């Protein structure tokens, strides 16, 4: 199902600023057994982004968006879905300027939930991407519609055995995967890169940091080099759709890992969170 401002539609105006300039935001929400355990976290991040980009979107718009998300999830397509929400600034003629009272467009679509059980159980092979993330503290953390860095990084490989690529900033520090956030574990300390200058502040990243803190673990947000990852005790990538994928191997290196105990514990707790919702 696809909705444009609450109405079924397969088309979008070519003047839409999301299409013209990437002027908007998106959220990718997992629906499991008809439920969305992280919906509120997604909407909170969306609202933060709307405020940062100064996109007109009031309480009534958010209420309509909630109704439309419910409509898509209850469409009967399946109990497990991916719901993608896109908010663009709206429609204008050419030119970067826009009127202050411009109405935002709400675009919602659903697709089947892929299943990769072996990746969660056995881990994945990743690679180090050559393309570096652009740095902009104003846009850092936001899930805005301009994903060219990720598109270029993902174009670097065709090998289906490689499930994800790890991206670095302009200084060479690892930041995230092309579609995921990154965690490394060393000597019982769990760390994730800082995304205040580039990268996405993932909903799953925030949830796992909270779970780790509740377990009494030391959680650090810090610069992480490729060498630190290669010498970590455990490492994994995560997002709201895949959950946690342990990293088993980094392509073109001699480094391999088995799925570690701390990663397994987080996977178990995450599964319990989803079931409890």
Nearest to 129 by CA among 180, 189, 202: 180
Nearest to 61 by CA among 72, 52, 53, 50: 50
The model's pLDDT over 147-203, given as tens digits with 9 standing for 90+, comes to: 999 999 999 999 999 999 999 999 999 999 999 999 999 999 999 999 999 999 999
169 and 240 assigned to the same domain: yes
143 and 255 assigned to the same domain: yes
Catalytic member of 28, 92, 125, 255: 28
pLDDT band at 58 (very low <50, low <70, confident <90, very high): very high
* Domain assignment of residue 21, given as a range: 2-112
- If one counts every other C-beta atom within 10 angstroms of the C-beta of residue 47, the result is 14
Rounded distance between C-alpha atoms, residue 40 and residue 34, angstroms = 15
21 and 57 assigned to the same domain: yes
Question: Which of 112, 130, 161 is a domain's end point?
Answer: 112
193 and 57 assigned to the same domain: no
CATH number at residue 225: 3.20.10.10
Rounded distance between C-alpha atoms, residue 235 and residue 212, angstroms = 14
| Contact status, residue 49 vs residue 200, Cβ threshold 8 Å | no
Domain count, the chain: 2
15 and 121 assigned to the same domain: no
33 and 98 assigned to the same domain: yes
- Given this model, what pLDDT does residue 276 score? 80
Catalytic member of 27, 68, 73, 143: 143
Location of structure tokens 């490394």: 184
> Is residue 220 pLDDT above 80, yes or no?
yes
Catalytic status, residue 253: no
Question: Which of 112, 142, 167 is a domain's end point?
Answer: 112
146 and 29 assigned to the same domain: no
The model's pLDDT over 113-138, given as tens digits with 9 standing for 90+, comes to: 998 889 999 999 999 999 999 999 99
3-state secondary structure of 37: coil
- Given this model, what pLDDT does residue 277 score? 73
Average pLDDT over residues 2-23: 95
Question: Which of 73, 95, 112 is a domain's end point?
Answer: 112
| Contact status, residue 245 vs residue 119, Cβ threshold 8 Å | yes
Phi, psi of 89 (to 5 degrees): -65, -25
Assessment of whether the complete model's pTM goes beyond 0.85: yes
Quick one: tokens of 170?
A: 């302009």
SS3 content of the chain, % helix, strand, coil (to 5): 30, 30, 40
133 and 203 assigned to the same domain: yes
Catalytic status, residue 143: yes
Catalytic member of 176, 178, 192, 234: 176
pLDDT band at 75 (very low <50, low <70, confident <90, very high): confident
CATH number at residue 63: 3.30.470.10
256 and 133 assigned to the same domain: yes
pLDDT band at 79 (very low <50, low <70, confident <90, very high): confident
134 and 239 assigned to the same domain: yes
Catalytic status, residue 28: yes
Q: Say what percent of the chain tops pLDDT 70.
A: 99
| Contact status, residue 88 vs residue 13, Cβ threshold 8 Å | no
> Is residue 77 pLDDT above 80, yes or no?
no
Rounded distance between C-alpha atoms, residue 2 and residue 190, angstroms = 39
177 and 107 assigned to the same domain: no
106 and 122 assigned to the same domain: no
Higher pLDDT residue, 166 or 34? 166
């Amino acid at each position: 199902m696809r909705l444009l401002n609450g109405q079924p539609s397969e088309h979008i105006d070519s003047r839409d600023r999301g299409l013209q300039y990437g002027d908007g935001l998106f959220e990718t929400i997992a629906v499991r057994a008809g439920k969305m355990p992280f919906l509120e976290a997604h909407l909170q991040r969306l609202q933060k982004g709307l405020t940062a980009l100064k996109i007109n979107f009031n309480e009534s718009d958010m209420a309509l968006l909630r109704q439309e998300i419910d409509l898509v999830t209850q469409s009967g397509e399946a109990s497990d879905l991916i719901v993608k929400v896109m908010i663009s600034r709206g429609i204008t003629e050419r030119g970067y300027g826009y009127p202050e009272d411009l109405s935002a467009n709400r675009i919602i679509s659903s697709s089947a939930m892929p299943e990769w059980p072996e990746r969660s159980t056995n881990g994945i092979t990743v690679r180090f991407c050559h393309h570096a993330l652009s740095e902009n503290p104003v846009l850092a953390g936001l899930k805005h519609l301009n994903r060219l860095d990720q598109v270029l990084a993902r174009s670097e490989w065709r090998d289906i055995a490689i499930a994800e690529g790890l991206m670095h900033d302009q200084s060479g520090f690892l930041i995230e995967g092309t579609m995921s956030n990154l965690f490394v574990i060393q000597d019982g300390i769990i760390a994730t890169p800082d995304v205040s200058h580039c990268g996405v502040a993932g909903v799953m990243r925030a949830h796992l940091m909270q779970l780790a803190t509740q377990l009494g673990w030391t959680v650090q947000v810090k610069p992480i080099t490729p060498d630190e990852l290669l010498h970590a005790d455990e490492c994994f990538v995560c997002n709201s759709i895949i959950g946690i994928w342990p990293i088993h191997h980094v392509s073109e290196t001699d480094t391999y890992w088995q799925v570690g105990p701390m990663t397994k514990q987080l996977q178990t707790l995450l599964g319990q969170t989803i079931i409890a919702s």
